[in-house]
Amino acid sequence: MSYAVIKTGGKQYRVKSGDVIHVEKLEGEAGDKVSLGEVLMLGGDSPKVGAPLIEGASVDAEIVEQARDKKIVVFKKRRRQNYRRKKGHRQHMTVLKIGAINA
């Protein structure tokens, strides 16, 4: 299979072997192997689409690092009411290197 569409952290990612992606935080340390089992589609010469998931398909990945994303600014304002609130945070994320795609 040349690529796969996986779902993790409520988002979908199109990945192929060797890709490095940033996903919402997964448990584990740098160097750990993880298996992503929610495969929605396998693409290539003969694509397979799941309904909603493909049975038995998985994507193997390695955790490169546990990091934090760019700062998110949350700003609330009600016009003409002198009401302003500003908060922010940095979301935790995991950097994954995609290994094998198992059909």
Non-local CB neighbours of 82 within 8 Å, separated by 6+ positions: none
Two structure tokens written together for 14: 């199109």
pLDDT of residue 44: 87
Q: State the Cα–Cα distance between residues 49 and 10, nearest whole angstrom.
A: 19
Tens digit of each residue's pLDDT (9 = 90 or more) over 50-92 = 899 999 999 999 999 999 999 999 999 999 999 999 999 999 9
Band the pLDDT of 19: cuts 50, 70, 90: very high
Spans of all domains in the chain: 3-102
How far apart, in whole angstroms, are the C-alpha atoms of residue 91 and residue 25? 9
Helical (H) or strand (E) element with 84: strand 83-102
71: Cβ contacts below 8 Å, ≥ 6 apart: 88, 89, 90
